[in-house]
Amino acid sequence: MSSLPEARVSEVRAFNRFYTKVIGALQAGMLDSPYSLTEVRVLFELAHAGRMETGELRGLLDLDAGYLSRMLARFEGDGLIARERSASDARKQLVRLTPAGSEVFSGLDRRSAEEVERLLSTLSEPDQERLVTGMATIRRLLGPPGERQPYVIRPPRSGDLGWVVHRHGALYSAEYGWGTGFEQLVARIVGGLDFSRDAGWIAEVGGERAGCVFFVRQDEVTAKLRMLLVEPSARGLGIGRRLVEECLRHARAEGCKRVTLWTRDCLVSARHIYQAAGFELQSEEKSTENGVEVTDQMWACDLRATS
């Protein structure tokens, strides 16, 4: 028997039924055309590739060979595609759209964009952003494992600081057992930020927050690197290293000579990032967090030595 909660399986199946209805996949023809969702997808791939070998097309869309062959025969009969033997391997068949096929696809592509615009126009701006972010999350979680995702680093915007407190509390509670006391500590640090002298950066993957770090000025020559966090789903992309680099770059530009930070020895990946960036361990001591024994560490980076 599966260990997955039945409610989760049911929710995914309910979403599948809902979304196939939203995009019209249950209709005989997509976008008021005589072609099915799969057929329109084949036209899409041919339109963007220019020319494809049938085996490549079959593998890309995971289609049965016989099904694809019948589909291409229909397209050929409708004058949408042309087929020819590969010059390098006569056993392979190349497929391309004809001018008529390109015209049909252009009409379908235009109507598809119009349908999505109509769908989004029924939602407020915040709801549009939530929808698009949710879709990006689904693609990332169900996409090919190990696929490297692009990310952006940007300054904080409205709503980001609340996210920083929430994710520190939730993530460190789940991974290390730290309680609300740690979340309150993060909230106090966030509440004390003064962006006339302090700075911060938010990492985004697919339009969704994936990490953060903050520069907190201490005096004319010293600053603290605070609240470095990378979401589990975004680890391995180099985001943590990039955030630390941005903080140190800013510190140099602001005339700082030294940057310190507080961390704990259990945060192994973060410590490796700090060491690679030029930080050195200064001191450590035992303490507890929500009844969990921890080792607090102070690290420092001499910017004069690493510039």
User: Domain coordinates of the chain in residue numbers?
Assistant: 6-122, 154-306
Give the model's pLDDT for residue 1.
45
Q: Please name every residue paired with 83 in a beta bridge, in sequence order, or none if there are none.
A: 95
Q: Among 18-22, 153-157, 178-182, 265-269, where is mean pLDDT lowest?
A: 18-22
Average pLDDT, integer, range 8-23? 86
Residues constituting the chain: 307
Average pLDDT, integer, range 107-113? 89
- Decide whether 6-122 matches 154-306 in CATH topology: no
Q: Which fold has domain 154-306?
A: Aminopeptidase (3.40.630)
Question: Please, which residues have CB within 8 angstroms of residue 20's CB and are 6 or more apart in sequence?
Answer: 26
Q: Rounded distance, CA 84 to CA 149, Å? A: 36
Percent of the chain with pLDDT over 70: 96
Average pLDDT, integer, range 67-84? 92
Give the model's pLDDT for residue 133.
76
Give the model's pLDDT for residue 147.
60
Q: Rounded distance, CA 20 to CA 38, Å? A: 13
| pTM score above 0.75 | no
Give the model's pLDDT for residue 92.
82
Q: Which of 3-17, 143-157, 230-244, 276-290 has the highest mean pLDDT?
A: 276-290
Tell me: domain 6-122, CATH 1.10.10.10, correct? yes
Confidence of residue 23 (pLDDT cuts 50, 70, 90): confident
Average pLDDT, the chain: 90
Q: Given a cut of 50, is residue 254 above it in pLDDT?
A: yes
Contact yes or no for 237/211 (Cβ under 8 A): no
Q: Given a cut of 80, is residue 90 above it in pLDDT?
A: no
Angle at 305 between CA 266 and CA 197, to 5 degrees: 75
Q: Given a cut of 80, is residue 306 above it in pLDDT?
A: no
Give the model's pLDDT for residue 192.
97
CA distances from 182 to 59, 246, 298 (A): 49, 25, 17
Give the model's pLDDT for residue 142.
82
Q: Given a cut of 70, is residue 206 above it in pLDDT?
A: yes
Considering only CA atoms, which of 260, 238, 237 is closest in space to residue 248?
A: 260
Burial class (CB in 10 A: 0-12, 13-18, 19+), 174: exposed
Q: Among 35-49, 161-175, 201-215, where is mean pLDDT lowest?
A: 35-49
Question: Please, which residues have CB within 8 angstroms of residue 173's CB and are 6 or more apart in sequence?
Answer: 179, 182, 183
